[in-house]
Amino acid sequence: MASEGQEVRRRRVFYIPGYDPIHPRRYRELYRKESAAQAAISGYEIALLPRDGTGAGRFGWRVQGRIDGSEVLAEVKVLVWSDLVRASMARGSLATYGQLVRTAWIYIGSGALWRLMRLRKGPVIAALYPVAFLLLQAFLAALAGWAAYHVLINLLDFLPAWSGAAFAAVAGVGLTCGVIAWFRRQDGKLFAYYLMHDFAYSALHRGANSPELRARMVEFTDEIAASLSQDFDEVLVVGHSSGAHLGVSILADLIRRGGVRANGPKLGFLSLGQVVPMVSFLPRADQLRADLHYLSAREELTWVDVTAPGDGCAFALCDPVAVSGVAPEDKRWPLVLSAAFTQTLSPERWKELRWRFFRLHFQYLCAFDRPGDYDYFRITAGPLSLATRFAGRAPSKSRLEKAVSKYTSMAA
């Protein structure tokens, strides 16, 4: 059924996750649960349908939306790079501490850390948290080992001095390693190792992408290009967290090679909870800065960037192009908007979520009990394109646009 003014009947959505080692089925379950909650609050219908067998090789799901009197079929595909994430996390504790030293040196030595601190404190604190907490864990482990050594020295004074000292030393080192291993097993609650691997991955090549990630991004570009030649009314790319800067480079390459047809589907890019400056401020991020510069002036797409000051893991309301110092004179994008958690979540819900930092970083993909004009499910399963939905919308007045990055060089 099509209603008057309906613009989109079929939509292809590509979701690019952030640095996440977990199987993408979590995103399907999150969409299922939260879309039902938002539909109940906002008075529309939405349901997940079985896959139709197309798009084999990519994880995804189909969505039937009945919103504002219109029926829309959306096909959601997750562009998976969780295997690369898992491979980058397959390191022992000692190697992780090596990552800590190297990553801290890259951000401090390059001057990027001090520049990032001029933007939002939240993500910088999130970056410093694993450094501080891992060092604290090492200190506590060493303290436990030192205490065990001295206790055993006193208890084993009946043995020859050399043998008692050797036994105590071995036991102390063993306890130190055991305490470090125990902390690592608790990382599902503490996130120190996870965050350390995340920031180390971004800094591994000082802002450039690894060869493995570049190859995967080429695959993603090809798949999006194929959808733009099919019978969709809109192709919408959603990049969350680290997936936002991947989306920038993927779409820049897509447009450069002529992948967007004038009479084809509309192309939309929705970046959510972006952390672009964590990469674009690094010395070798020349390609990302060039892609930001290029994409921000293109007419082939609509780019809306949504963050919220309540999200301590994102560079909230920081225009990623402008703060990176690469805004062209004819800049059009992104349209920087706030999800305004303190307004779009009830006081009770906000109180419940306020200190759950990682949960808030995913709130963009969830239901709001006092929704404003940002509604993830209307955007992905509703009858209007991203361009039409936000046409004429003024950007957030509190956005940051001052160029801050020390490095502004761009790839040719």
290 part of a folded domain: yes
Contact between 307 and 274 (Cβ < 8 Å)? yes
Question: pLDDT, tens digit, for every residue of 231-247?
Answer: 999 999 999 999 999 99
Query: Among 154, 182, 202, which residue terminates a domain?
Result: 202
What rounded mean pLDDT belongs to the chain? 91
Query: Among 136, 169, 202, which residue terminates a domain?
Result: 202
Q: Specify the CATH number for the domain of residue 348.
A: 3.40.50
If asked whether residues 116 and 255 sit together in one domain, one would say no
Query: Among 142, 167, 202, which residue terminates a domain?
Result: 202
* 282 band by pLDDT with thresholds 50, 70 and 90: very high
Give the residue-averaged pLDDT of 368-384: 95
Question: pLDDT, tens digit, for every residue of 73-108?
Answer: 999 999 999 999 999 987 788 888 998 999 999 999
Task: Decide if pLDDT at 1 tops 50.
Answer: no
148 part of a folded domain: yes
Which is nearest to 268 in space by CA: 295, 301, 296?
301
394 part of a folded domain: no
If asked whether residues 156 and 222 sit together in one domain, one would say no
Give one word for 382, left, alpha or beta, with left for phi > 0 and alpha for psi -120 to 50: beta
Task: Decide if pLDDT at 54 tops 60.
Answer: no
Count of other CB atoms within 10 angstroms of residue 1: 8
Q: Which residue has the tokens 């419940």?
A: 352
407 part of a folded domain: no
If asked whether residues 48 and 116 sit together in one domain, one would say no
Task: Decide if pLDDT at 320 tops 90.
Answer: yes
If asked whether residues 217 and 186 sit together in one domain, one would say no
Give the residue-averaged pLDDT of 31-44: 96
If asked whether residues 188 and 291 sit together in one domain, one would say no
Give the residue-averaged pLDDT of 51-57: 57
Give the residue-averaged pLDDT of 214-232: 96
Task: Give, in degrees to the nearest 5, the angle at Cα 162 between 161 and 163.
Answer: 95
Contact between 286 and 294 (Cβ < 8 Å)? no
Q: In what order do the strands lie in the sheet with 10-16?
A: 45-49, 59-67, 70-78, 10-16, 234-240, 266-272, 302-307, 335-338
Task: Decide if pLDDT at 293 tops 80.
Answer: yes
Q: How many domains does the chain have?
A: 2
If asked whether residues 156 and 217 sit together in one domain, one would say no
380 part of a folded domain: yes
Contact between 152 and 172 (Cβ < 8 Å)? yes
If asked whether residues 299 and 370 sit together in one domain, one would say yes
Question: pLDDT, tens digit, for every residue of 147-175?
Answer: 888 887 777 665 565 676 777 788 888 88
Q: Domain limits at 154?
A: 91-202
Quick one: pLDDT at residue 153?
75
If asked whether residues 250 and 162 sit together in one domain, one would say no
